[in-house]
Amino acid sequence: MSQVVGEMNRETPVLMIKFMPSQYLADFLKDGRLHMNKLSYFKELEETNVVARSDNHEGAEVAYFFDSFEFSLGEELITAQSAKLRIHHEYNLCMNVYCMTAITVGDLIESGGEIRLSADFLEFGDKAVVFYNEGLRLFVDRLSETLNTIPKIASHQKYKHFAKKIEYMPATYSGEFGIFRKQSQYSWQYEWRLAVEQKETSGLYDRICLGDISQWAHVFDTKELLNEPIRISN
């Protein structure tokens, strides 16, 4: 898939993709309904071996990497060569999130002008809904307008925005994580994340509806999309 970049900065999304099972496609296109799981859902997936989507760092406020450490257990001294300590915040885990793949100008430049998406996206669903050019702008505008009309949601108390591109951190990183950072092993996802606080439900939140967005969307079979690279064209 070729995409014209034009006059944009590095952070400008060139296209956004939502991978999903086909049974959710009509609901998404005709109602623009966003199915938002809590962050705890993705953390718990680690226990079910859903490798492509599980992440034990989800909701972690901070994570610390140690080259080596030792501790005492009774009279026995236990030494390890490396370890990672994660401190999770319950508030973070209660945030509802909606995730899409967003390819930016910077992503394409850093990849040498061409990106081939990972076959791991097949685990996300057999359909790929793609927004680009004017359709992408209209989709993002509609999302922003809709969020501003829903009184019972809020952004994370630490951030002033509802959504941003995920920043991927190296395995040896020590410091703040929060809800917009993930481990670098997930960088293939090129994730853009919408995060809202809401108290209407204790689990899945699906009350954000954008209306009919089918006129802005291009639908592909996931396998078809993965077979073709995304590249810059003049």
Give 40-99 pLDDT, tens digit per residue: 887 776 555 555 555 667 777 787 776 766 667 777 777 766 667 778 777 888 899 999
Say yes or no to pLDDT of 184 above 50.
yes
Say yes or no to pLDDT of 160 above 50.
yes
Rounded CA separation 39/180 (Å)? 11
| pLDDT value of residue 55 | 67
Nearest to 12 by CA among 132, 186, 178, 130: 132
Average pLDDT over residues 119-136: 96
Nearest to 191 by CA among 63, 86, 95, 104: 104
Q: Is 129 buried (19+), middle (13-18) or exposed (0-12) by CB count in 10 A? A: buried
Say yes or no to pLDDT of 1 above 60.
no
Higher pLDDT, 195 or 73: 195
- Encoding tokens for residue 121? 């996206």
Say yes or no to pLDDT of 102 above 60.
yes
| pLDDT value of residue 4 | 36
pLDDT band with cut points at 50, 70 and 90 for residue 8? low
| pLDDT value of residue 42 | 77
| pLDDT value of residue 171 | 82
| pLDDT value of residue 74 | 75
| pLDDT value of residue 7 | 47
What is the helix (H) or strand (E) element at residue 78, kind and residue range? strand 76-80
pLDDT band with cut points at 50, 70 and 90 for residue 200? confident
Percent pLDDT > 90 in the chain is: 55
Say yes or no to pLDDT of 163 above 90.
yes
